[in-house]
Amino acid sequence: MKVHSWGLLSNEEHQIELTDSNFKHSNAIGIPMGLGRSYGDAALNPGGAIWLTSALNHFIAFDEERGEFECEAGVSLREIQALIIPRGWNLPVTPGTQFVTVGGAIANDIHGKSHHTYGTFGDQVISLTLRRTDGSEMLCSPEQNSELFAATIGGIGLTGLITKARFALVRCTSPWIEMESSPFNNLSEFFELSKSSAIGWESSVAWIDCVGTKAGRGIFMRGNPAAKAESKKVKERQLGLPFTPPISLVNKATLRALNTGYFHLNKAKAGHSTVHYQSYFYPLDAISNWNRIYGPKGFYQYQSVIPHDRAESATQEMMATIASSGEGSFLAVLKVFGEKTPRGLLSFPMPGVTLALDFPNRGASTLELFAKLDEIVIRSGGRLYLAKDARMSRPMFETTYPNVSEFKKYRDPGISSAMSRRLLGA
Amino acid sequence: MKNIAIIGATSGIAQACARIWAAEADIRLILIGRSQERLTQVSNDLKVRSPKAVIESYEVNFTDPRAVAACVTYVTGTYGLDIALFAAGVMPTQELLSTSPALAAETIALNSISPTLFAEPILQFFTNQNHGTMALIGSVAGDRGRKANYLYGASKAFIATYAAGLQHRFAKTPIRIVLIKPGPTATAMTAELQADGIRMAKPEKVAQDIILGISKGDAVIYTPRIWGLIMAIVRKVPAPIFNRLNF
Ligand SMILES: Cc1cc2nc3c(=O)[nH]c(=O)nc-3n(C[C@H](O)[C@H](O)[C@H](O)COP(=O)(O)OP(=O)(O)OC[C@H]3O[C@@H](n4cnc5c(N)ncnc54)[C@H](O)[C@@H]3O)c2cc1C
Ligand SMILES: NC(=O)c1ccc[n+]([C@@H]2O[C@H](COP(=O)([O-])OP(=O)(O)OC[C@H]3O[C@@H](n4cnc5c(N)ncnc54)[C@H](OP(=O)(O)O)[C@@H]3O)[C@@H](O)[C@H]2O)c1
């Protein structure tokens, strides 16, 4: 059947196979897919097989004394949080959506607003079970099969099917977050705010305006778990886009209005507030198919990280490049990573600043802009995030991910994806 | 404490039912299946979800009359029983069934005969205690034979007729017989159909309908409910027209 990823850039025929814990790989070359929340081609394999992990949906153990959770790899973070938060525990690391699987969280070694406090999802993993296409099953941890463990964390599905994993939790006092939001006028102010939030704030993130003359202003948000339970009732929020609009609703005509509106709305709300963790961490989850607002041609997300020494100047330069290109982004997110070096051979985060931008797919002009941004990223010693990528060149990948040749040793020869063929040649 | 036996507890639909039941207060679930390993997987999952629920499991060969009888004696004697749900089943393609008589025989043994092996001694127990609900999963496929799956359909039509007979037998008693007819549901059974992009009901939705129907003691549950209407029409299409349709 036809399958697309989150960015809706392609929709091609795949052979779908449902995996469960007894899964036997067929002869077709395949790639695991969780909830398909990667934007590009990490979980796509046109003409070949996709191994859907939705039947790997069992919880295995919840150690409420030590704060450890074990489950099969197709379980979503949303299901886990719904279970553990009322019982006083939480996941230390989650991305901007709860609709990702444990397998996907490990295979992209995802990060969240708490990166400066807890590192990546892979940093929480105590052990995982990997099923290779030769039929072997391996327990991997920092002690056992540690090289394969390091290759699998951030290994974009290429080392085997993760069937289950055990990971560490953090204590959680309530589902509420005490948050503070502060408008800033330029990048220097952003970096100041980040520095002052590195300690004492569990999570932080900023939205930044990158359109027009006011580009560089934004809203800085930081939060801590609220100490005691609020008794407010939360409504299950779930809106949906009923159809794909014929053109992108995010376009030149609407972008400036969207950005200005967003800035002033949030500036007006600046200050302290207590908010539910879902609306603080996963605001976009309230609209189920928001990716469709970009219309039938889909959209790209461009997410880079730039090391500290060049962080401000390179970000400045990227913003200027975007502003002068006429392409614009509504969802522009900026965050300073912590100092922890991730475990995965292909993990994305590094000490520095990450910028994530959504662009409607306008064909050649969008790609031209990316080429200019690539040049800044490479020159500054940064890299792009594979979970979001659909178009990076192989030379750029090889220059910016230093462990590529080491990683290749741990690949499963029965696995290949559109991304692996594009970036690793097979 | 309410005792519920789920026979074929590892099935996708049964697991979704078990997750709902386990969340109720004062429940013991007795999971019956052919493989202890698979039962442990399901039981661990339920214990994480609902630490207060009591979960037991029992491995048995579903088509061995003596083993099944022993299983029922053990379960009713050790725990007692209020509700039993039979949910095991297989659906090989008609093409395979047409060319492999052995597979056809196995399919009928599991889908049609096995439920009777469990139901008769369970109903004997219910009769003695004068209450209990026996639920059997048939299928919309049992409502009318189609070329795509008539042997499977026939094995499910057996369940429908069997359940109707039991309903007749227990009509004047507090014992309830519930016949469940799911439409296509996204479980391992329909993996290949799902892979072709055919839309299916979620097992969670089907399970909600089943549990509500069982609690009310409904005679027949179509789930999702729209299938009651669809099948009413499908049953009425005259054969000359029906036989020209391709589905
Ligand atoms: C709204 C939104 C916000 C996001 N915010 C963030 C964020 O803040 N930080 C961040 O890091 N990411 C973020 N992401 C990206 C997302 O977290 C990752 O793409 C994640 O990997 C998606 O998980 P998935 O289950 O959908 O996996 P998929 O996208 O289906 O697959 C991702 C990769 O994992 C592999 N994989 C999946 N399951 C398995 C398995 N069982 N075994 C082996 N390999 C497997 C696939 O082969 C593929 O390479 C965001 C995405 C969205 C849509
Ligand atoms: N899914 C649908 O679309 C659909 C529609 C209508 C009716 N139904 C009926 O609903 C019931 C549940 O189906 P499902 O979709 O949930 O099925 P499923 O997930 O495929 O599960 C099948 C179950 O049958 C068990 N089983 C298979 N062979 C067996 C054997 N020889 N002995 C004992 N147990 C055996 C399996 O046990 P293991 O786990 O040990 O393999 C499993 O528990 C079945 O009766 C099915 O016919 C399903």
State if residue A52 touches ligand 1 by the CB under 6 angstroms criterion: no
Residues of A in contact with B194 (CB under 8 A): 16, 18
This prediction has a pTM of 0.95
Question: pLDDT (tens digit, 9 = 90+) per residue, B142-187?
Answer: 999 999 999 999 999 999 999 999 999 999 999 999 999 999 999 9
Q: How far apart are CA A243 and CA A293, in angstroms?
A: 9
B52 within domain boundaries: yes
Q: How many residues does chain B have?
A: 247
Task: Report angle CA B58, B70, B189 to the nearest 5 degrees.
Answer: 45
Radius of gyration of chain A, Cα coordinates, nearest whole angstrom: 21
Q: Is B25 on the interface with A (CB under 8 A)?
A: no
Residues of A in contact with B53 (CB under 8 A): none
Q: How far apart are CA A55 and CA A23, in angstroms?
A: 10
Query: What range does the domain containing B63 cover?
Result: 2-242
Contact A307, A263 (CB under 8 A): no
Q: A83: distance to nearest CA of chain B, Å?
A: 7
Are A59 and B45 a contacting pair at CB < 8 A?
yes
pLDDT given at position A249: 78
B44 within domain boundaries: yes
On the CB side of A309, how many CA atoms lie within 13 Å of its CA?
3
- % of chain A with per-residue pLDDT over 70: 97
Ligand 1 centre distance from Cα of residue A171 (Å): 25
Are B44 and A62 a contacting pair at CB < 8 A?
no
Q: Whose CA is nearest to atom 28 of ligand 1?
A: A36
Tell me the two tokens of residue B60: 């048995």
Q: How many residues does chain A have?
A: 426
Best residue in A2, A18, A54, A72 for a mutation probing chain B (most B CBs within 10 Å): A18
B7 within domain boundaries: yes
- % of chain A with per-residue pLDDT over 90: 81
Please give the domain boundaries of chain A with CATH numbers for all domains.
176-227+239-390 (3.40.462.10)
B172 within domain boundaries: yes
Q: Is residue A230 over pLDDT 70?
A: no
Reported ipTM: 0.91
pLDDT given at position A231: 60
Q: What is the mean pLDDT of residues A192-204?
A: 96
Of the partner residues B42, B188, B195, the one whose CB lies closest to the CB of residue A16: B195
Contact B210, B202 (CB under 8 A): no
Residue of higher predicted confidence among A23 and A229: A23
Query: Which pLDDT band holds residue A255 (cuts at 50, 70, 90)?
Result: confident
Question: pLDDT (tens digit, 9 = 90+) per residue, B180-220?
Answer: 999 999 999 998 888 888 899 999 999 999 999 999 999 99
Residues of B in contact with A26 (CB under 8 A): none
Are B191 and A17 a contacting pair at CB < 8 A?
yes
Which residue is closest to A49 within chain B, CA to CA?
Answer: B195
Q: B44: distance to nearest CA of chain A, Å?
A: 5
What type of residue sits at position A210? C
Q: What are phi and psi of A351, to 5 degrees?
A: -60, 125
Looking at the DSSP assignment, which residues form a beta bridge with residue B86? B7, B136
DSSP at A341: P
B247 within domain boundaries: no
Q: Which CATH number goes with the domain that contains B218?
A: 3.40.50.720
Are A18 and B194 a contacting pair at CB < 8 A?
yes
Tell me the two tokens of residue A257: 């209005």
pLDDT given at position A237: 59
pLDDT given at position A260: 83
Kind and range of the H or E run holding B133: strand B133-137
Q: How far apart are CA B123 and CA B129, in angstroms?
A: 10
Ligand 2 centre distance from Cα of residue B144 (Å): 20
Q: Is B240 on the interface with A (CB under 8 A)?
A: no
Residues of A in contact with B48 (CB under 8 A): 59-62, 71, 83
On the CB side of A39, how many CA atoms lie within 13 Å of its CA?
28
How many CB atoms within 10 Å of residue B239?
8
Q: Is A16 on the interface with B (CB under 8 A)?
A: yes
Contact A129, A139 (CB under 8 A): yes
Ligand 2 shell residues, CB under 6 Å: B 8, 10-13, 33-35, 38, 62, 87-91, 110, 137, 139, 182, 184-185, 187-190
Give residue B169's Cα distance to chain centre.
Answer: 20
Q: How far apart are CA B68 and CA A316, in angstroms?
A: 73
Q: Is B204 on the interface with A (CB under 8 A)?
A: no
Q: Is residue A58 over pLDDT 90?
A: yes
Residues with Cβ within 8 Å of residue A383, at least 6 apart in sequence: A304, A305, A348, A350, A377, A400, A401
pLDDT given at position A312: 96
Are B42 and A20 a contacting pair at CB < 8 A?
no
Residues with Cβ within 8 Å of residue A423, at least 6 apart in sequence: A386, A392, A394, A397
Minimum-distance ligand to the CA of B137? Answer: 2
Mean pLDDT of chain A: 93
Contact B142, B159 (CB under 8 A): yes
What type of residue sits at position B60? V
Q: Is residue A367 over pLDDT 90?
A: yes
Out of A21, A35, A37, A417, mutate this one to test ligand 1's pocket (max ligand atoms within 8 Å of CB): namely: A37
Are A1 and B196 a contacting pair at CB < 8 A?
yes
Q: How far apart are CA A415 and CA A413, in angstroms?
A: 5
In terms of Cα–Cα distance, which of B192, B148, B166, B144 is closest to B86?
A: B166
Are A58 and B188 a contacting pair at CB < 8 A?
no
Of the partner residues B44, B188, B194, the one whose CB lies closest to the CB of residue A20: B188
Question: pLDDT (tens digit, 9 = 90+) per residue, B19-77?
Answer: 999 999 999 999 999 999 999 999 999 999 999 999 999 999 999 999 999 999 999 99
Taking the CA atoms of residue A194, residue A200, residue A203 and residue A204 in that order, the dihedral angle to the nearest 10 degrees is -20
Ligand 2 centre distance from Cα of residue B16 (Å): 13
Residue of higher predicted confidence among A42 and A240: A42
Are A60 and B44 a contacting pair at CB < 8 A?
yes
Q: How far apart are CA A286 and CA A10, in angstroms?
A: 25
Query: Which pLDDT band holds residue A243 (cuts at 50, 70, 90)?
Result: confident
B71 within domain boundaries: yes
Tally of domains in chain B: 1
Of the partner residues A2, A18, A71, the one whose CB lies closest to the CB of residue B188: A18
Q: Is A227 on the interface with B (CB under 8 A)?
A: no
Are B48 and A55 a contacting pair at CB < 8 A?
no
User: Is the C-alpha dihedral spanning A384, A389, A393, A398 positive or negative?
Assistant: positive
Q: Is B188 on the interface with A (CB under 8 A)?
A: yes
Q: Say which range, A276-285, A321-330, A362-371, B117-126, has the weakest mean pLDDT.
A: A321-330
Q: How far apart are CA A51 and CA B192, in angstroms?
A: 12
Q: B129: distance to nearest CA of chain A, Å?
A: 36
Best residue in A60, A63, A71 for a mutation probing chain B (most B CBs within 10 Å): A60
Q: Is A2 on the interface with B (CB under 8 A)?
A: yes
Query: Which pLDDT band holds residue A265 (cuts at 50, 70, 90)?
Result: confident
- Largest Cα–Cα distance of chain B, in whole Å? 56
Q: How far apart are CA A187 and CA A205, in angstroms?
A: 13
Q: Characterise A171 by phi-psi region: left (phi > 0), alpha (psi -120 to 50), beta (else).
A: beta
What type of residue sits at position A72? E
pLDDT given at position A244: 76
Residues of B in contact with A59 (CB under 8 A): 44-45, 48-49
